[in-house]
Structures are given as C-alpha cells and as structure tokens.
Structure 1
C-alpha cells in the first residue's frame, strides 16, 4: 500500500508540473492532453512490468529489472559508504579492488560477457537507477513514473521542434510521436529508450534553435546534456543522425537551393570518412564493428534459439559484403515483423504496428501537398536518419523481437517525414485530425 501511495504521489507531482511548467505550453495540444499522454505512458510502462513479471519471468534477462536490481546494489553503498556511492555514480576513483568485491561482481550487468573495448551503456542505466532509488525507496513503479516523465519531456521537445514545420497538424504530430505501440511500451519503462528520447529531445531542440538564433549559455548546457545522454546510451543513434544534421545546417545557413546535392554530398563524404577512418585510427573501424555486432548476434541466436529469428547469412568481412546485404537489412527492419506475427501476442502487436507503418505511406501520398511546398531539407533529414538507422539495425539484428525495440527512435522521425508531405487543407473533411 505504501508503494502504491508513493507512486501515485509522484504521478500527481508530475501532473502538477505538466499543468504549471511553461515548457509544456505548446501549440496545438493542451496541457490536459499532455497529462493524459503521461498517464498513458505510465500505464504502458506498468503493462510492460506485468509482461516481464508474469509472462517472461527470468528477471536476470529482463532489461526493466536488470538495471533496477543493479542500481539497488550501487545504492546499497550509500548508508555505510557514501563516498563509494558518489565515486560509482561519477566514475571517478571507482577502480579500486573493493568496488569489484563489494558491488560490481554482485551486479549482473556491470561487466559485459564479451568486452568490445567500448563504453558499456549499461553503466549509464545502472547509475540512473541508483539516482532514482534516492526517491523511490525501492519501489519499482516509481522508476517507471520517473522514466515515463523524462521520456515525455524528450518527446514534447521533439513536438516543439516539428510543429513549426507542420502547422495545423498538431494532433496528428502528437499521435505520430507518442502513440506507436513500440514507443509507448519501450519508451515508458526504466530502460534505455526512455532516457534516449530525453537526450534526443534536449539535443535537437537546442540544435534547431541554434540554426535560427544564437544560443544562451543555458541552451548550450541543455544541448551538451542531451549529447551526453545519447553518447552514454546509444551513440550509434546519434551517429546515424549527424550527416543529416550537417546537411540540414548547411541548407539553413546557405539557403535552400540545391538541397538534394547538399544532402547527397554530405552523406557521400560521411561514407568516405567511415571507409578511410581505419587507415588513420584502426580502433575506429566502423565496418568491422558492424560486422562483429552481426556475428555476436548470430552467436547469441545459436545459444538461445529465439522464436523471432529470421535466417540471415553471415556478412562477408568486406565493404562489398555489407553492400550485398543492404536489401536483406532493409527487409529485416521494415518488413520482417510481418513474418513473425504468429509467435505470440508481442509478435502480433509488432506485425500490426508494421502494417500501420506501411499503410501510412500511401495515405500520406494521397493527401500530399505540391512538391514545391514541402520543406525539403527537414524532410530529407528525417528520411536520411530513418534509412541509415534502419540499415544499421538490419545489418546487425536478425531477431525481430530485438529489432522492434531498436527501431523505436526511428518511428517519430518516420511520422514527421510523412506529415511533412501532407496538405492540411486536404484534411478539411476530418476536423478532428487538424488543430487551429
């Protein structure tokens, strides 16, 4: 009962912040609607808890519990050894043998089974959980509420960026950002995706603001915070976005002439840098990292035999081998959930989401505005990000269950790309879809 009251208290606190904080005063959508979306996210995160409590019952392999449990181990240092707690949170001076003996070997996820030599993003989530533990008193659902609210901030930030490009489509934009099933479930639990949305929103809101006007020091701090969150969680998502951001900034600074040429040149240069980089810094061989990620995933498939595995040939360790797998990679990312619709409730939900993803494209084309009225730079930015991230996911992830989660950051940008081509005037027959 105490846990329920505490959880409800935090829900009430965040609803109050939504009602009072100026950040949530946005064009086209009222605060009550944002509050309702927050409650929906809390409910979705709670449903995910139920799935991993009563259906997938191996707590050690469920991300929603892995970071929570390891965060509790880190938090356990606070009463008797507060300096240890601070050192583990900051990563400063936390390499003494006692940290292994007391904490890290007790955790299940501090050390990778296969060390890649790169930052272990589980550390970020364990530290996050240890911080929220200060407020949760060990109640798991409080972590869900905090994560849902932080994710909400990030998604509202994305809304504030995009609404200026699609005036009159605020309700559709809000739905396209929030209501994908994968975004609702994976983006509302105490796992990486929720914090990733926070990082994306904070970072991009300030980047787009910077393209229009000089940033105050607070804007630079928020941009840095968003950047660090992304680097600490899923740096590859940021990497997939960087070429498009450079191209978009180029267009905004120099005018919107030759947009296709600017985007094409930027992405060709980025590809050449990736190919040449190992000659300068062998440890930054991006192609080898991608190929190794696929081999690791196929090895995991061989050990665990997941039901949603899609047979995938081993990628040849060459650039040509990667190019040959491009069609299969796009098939995995954009079509494979249709193949695994019959493996359970999650498979069916994933297939239905994929049907929606495919159907929305011809619907958007049917309601399209003239090409000359489309904001081409922002449209190409969204499309390029979706294609690059989709390609990377397809190259490395032949398991549909994992793939559905990894493509979560792509879905809001897919929605935005579609809305950019929609003509609001053609939606006059459906006033509920439009906003004043």
Structure 2
C-alpha cells in the first residue's frame, strides 16, 4: 500500500456510499432498507481489512500478486490504450506487440487468474491504479450479487429478512474473504446473480430474456474463475427447478403421475450438467477429478507449517476412495476447525462460525428427530437445493484443501446457503402456519 491509498480511499468511499444511498430506495423495502448500508459497510471493511492482513500479518500473498500484474497492465495503458486493450482481450496467446508486458506476467497464461487481473485492471483506470480502491470496487461488485441473493431468499420467505441478512452478509468469513482483490469476491458475487437469475427466470418465469442474460454471464464468469463452484451449483439448481415446476401442477392426479418424470428428468439434467460442463478439462474433468483432488490435498498439506493442516484419511485418487472419505470431507468443511484446533486469529473466526453451524444443526435434529428432519427437507425444494449444493461443494473443497487456511476461502460460497437453510427450518419449527411462499417486492 502507498500514500495514495490513504489519500484516495476516503474520497472513493464517499463516492461509493453516495451511489449506495441513491440505489437504496430502488432495491429495498421498509423491512430490508435498514440492512442495505450495514451490509455494504462490512463488505468495504472486509476489502480494506483483507489488504491490511495480507500486508502486515502474512507479509504478502495472492492479493498483492494480482496487484503486481494490474500495475503491469496499467503501465501498458499509460504507453498506449491500444496495448492495454490487446492485453484485456488476450487469452494468453503470444503477441509480439504486447510481449514486453506479457512476458513479465506470471499469470498471463493462467486464465483463472488472468480474468481477475482484467477486472482489476479495468477498475485501476478509474482510481489511478490504487490498490485499496480497487479492492473497494471488488467489494461493491460482489455486494451487488449478494444483495440479489438476499432478495431472492426473501421472495421465498419474506418474514425472514433479519435471518437471511445474517446468513448472506454478516458471517465474518464471508464478508472478509469474499471482499477485496481476490477471486472469491467475484465468484460469490456472481453466484448471487446466478441464484437470482435462476429463480426469476426459471421458477417465477419473469423477465425471461433479462434472466437468461444474467444466467449466461454469471455462469460464464464463475466457470472462468472457479468452475468447481458452477459444477456444484448446477445439478441441485436444475433439480430444484424441476421440483418447483412439478409442485405448480394443480391437478393431484397429474401431479402424482408427473412427479417421477420430473425427478428422473431433474437427475438426468443434473448429471449432464456435472459431466458435460467440464468434459475435456484436465483440471476438472469428472474422470480426472479424483486424482486431481489427491494431488491438491497432499501438496497443500505438505505446504502448511503452522499446524492448520487436517487429515480426512487416505485416498488413492479414485472416485470410490473419495466417496469413502466424503463424510469426513463434508464434516471438515461445515463443522471444523473445532475450537480446540485454533492456531491463529483467522482460524478462531472460522471455528466460531463452525460452532454455530454445529449448534443450529444439532438443535434442529434433536427437536424434530433425524427421520422427520430429512422428510421435512425433502418436502421443500429450496431446502433440497440449499443443502445439496452445500454438501456437494463441502465434499469438493474438503477433499481438495488439505488445510484450514485455504479451506476457509474455498467454502465461503456454501456458507450463506447452508445458514439460510438452517434458518428456514428453524422458522418452520417455530411458526409453521405463518410462513407462506409469497412473492415480495424487495
């Protein structure tokens, strides 16, 4: 960070808050209005805090590696906007005109990192290439998607505006790791837009063209940055859509006859989405994902010298062995680190959140019973989606991380959905007759 960060950050904070206060009447109602500015504020605090933690606690890291590349892009713009545009449109190929810049960029041929650099480079033109302000722009962009995620949940359960605000905005790991100049800020924001697009276009069947554009753009960007999130989202989302449409058939006889069709069709679409989405991709092809997970887990575990590594058991890279360690992978993603496993302040935040997840989950199972809880989840399509998505992603990141330091970032996309699912179940247990699936203009 430089002196211009101290000088320009307050100025851009005023601009961002001015924009937020202008947008708030258009995006809120009398119940959600009070959460809009606080939700944005924690995102902005997260963006600034992430930079400070990486600079003064970790002494560097990915966020500053991204900024290093952005500075190179900015230098290209200063020489010629044409060269900058060529870099922005590049897919990592050799080009003699931009070679003197691309050769200095370690991630030039790494598409998942380079797209983050492109976003950062665009924002850098708006703020004189200032690291902290770029982080604020990432936080604001992420916030737009998360607010749409929040509004979508409220369309399903309008009375849970406080609970959903906690689940979506105020989990410390989510607003800290999901803000600032990192991949995670973009992916969780685009995930919110994708969730919104799916519900509006494919369940409400409103603004079909607009929703289709949102779905395609958000899905493409998630695919380009962290494809495993899309791979985890798509199957349960498609299944959710089929279940919701099946429920809308008014005739009981036709609905009963159609139910097996919708279940089979939903599972088939989910399978095709999971297998065809990454077919031929050496990193995430379904036939290679087991071996890849093994390599990642072993590598990351060996790299950790701070005591934050975890062990989910031995697996040889095959899908069958991954299924064997799957339950432990899910437990470590959702419910660990335990309090006694904490080794540093960052782990403490994650441990507190994991403890809350454990408490809420066990309390509901205790009060309702294991079988009744499973039946209840099976009766609510949104709960099926929330928990299946959470479990699938928990399985994936739990087998790939190898240590709590990386796990805490990898798992943040599932946390709002898992927490929202717990709050929905809790609300039904407390006041089942008062809850109704009413649309709300949020």
Is 2:11 the partner of 1:20?
no
CA deviations 1:292-331 (Å, max 9, x no partner) are 1331341343355453111354522433222222123223
For residues 23 and 234 of structure 1, what CA distance do their matches in structure 2 show?
A: 31
Q: Is the 8 A contact 2:310 2:402 kept in 1?
A: yes
Unaligned runs of 5+ in 2: 249-254, 433-442
State the match for 1:252 in structure 2: 244
Is 2:286 the partner of 1:286?
yes
- SS in structure 2 at match of 1:167: coil
State the match for 1:34 in structure 2: 36
State the match for 2:65 in structure 1: 66
CA deviations 1:274-301 (Å, max 9, x no partner) are 99879x9696741413421331341343
TM-score, reference length from structure 2: 0.83
For residues 45 and 420 of structure 2, what CA distance do their matches in structure 1 show?
A: 25
Q: Is the 8 A contact 1:125 1:192 kept in 2?
A: yes
Between stretches 70-79 and 340-349, larger displacement belongs to 340-349
CA deviations 1:35-87 (Å, max 9, x no partner) are 12212221222222221111111x2xx12211111111112111223222111
Q: CA deviation at 1:15?
A: 1.8
For residues 144 and 426 of structure 1, what CA distance do their matches in structure 2 show?
A: 41
Q: CA deviation at 1:159?
A: 0.8
Alignment of 1:14-413 (within 5 A): 14-21=16-23, 23-26=26-29, 28-30=31-33, 32-57=34-59, 59=60, 62-91=61-90, 94-100=93-99, 102-111=100-109, 120-210=111-201, 211-255=203-247, 265=264, 269=268, 285-303=285-303, 305=305, 307-338=307-338, 341-364=341-364, 376-413=380-417
State the match for 1:432 in structure 2: none
For residues 277 and 202 of structure 1, what CA distance do their matches in structure 2 show?
A: 23
TM-score, reference length from structure 1: 0.84
CA deviations 1:352-380 (Å, max 9, x no partner) are 12111211224456888997799611110
- SS in structure 2 at match of 1:409: coil
CA deviations 1:407-428 (Å, max 9, x no partner) are 0000010112112213379489
**CA, structure 1 residues 238+276, in 2 after alignment: closer, same or farther (shift >3 Å)?**
closer
For residues 240 and 78 of structure 1, what CA distance do their matches in structure 2 show?
A: 38
- SS in structure 2 at match of 1:360: helix
State the match for 2:440 in structure 1: none
**CA, structure 1 residues 352+76, in 2 after alignment: closer, same or farther (shift >3 Å)?**
same
For residues 52 and 275 of structure 2, what CA distance do their matches in structure 1 show?
A: 48
For residues 361 and 47 of structure 1, what CA distance do their matches in structure 2 show?
A: 30
For residues 236 and 156 of structure 1, what CA distance do their matches in structure 2 show?
A: 23
- SS in structure 2 at match of 1:423: helix
Q: CA deviation at 1:19?
A: 1.9
1:416 to 400, 420, 430: 420
**CA, structure 1 residues 75+314, in 2 after alignment: closer, same or farther (shift >3 Å)?**
farther
Number of residue pairs aligned between Structure 1 and Structure 2:
417
Between stretches 142-151 and 287-296, larger displacement belongs to 287-296
For residues 166 and 380 of structure 2, what CA distance do their matches in structure 1 show?
A: 22
Q: CA deviation at 1:109?
A: 3.1
Q: Is the 8 A contact 2:339 2:352 kept in 1?
A: no
- SS in structure 2 at match of 1:308: coil
For residues 14 and 374 of structure 1, what CA distance do their matches in structure 2 show?
A: 42
- SS in structure 2 at match of 1:422: helix
**CA, structure 1 residues 208+36, in 2 after alignment: closer, same or farther (shift >3 Å)?**
same
Q: CA deviation at 1:271?
A: 7.9
For residues 343 and 431 of structure 2, what CA distance do their matches in structure 1 show?
A: 38
For residues 378 and 318 of structure 2, what CA distance do their matches in structure 1 show?
A: 38
Between stretches 297-306 and 323-332, larger displacement belongs to 297-306
Q: Is the 8 A contact 1:374 1:421 kept in 2?
A: no
Q: CA deviation at 1:217?
A: 3.6
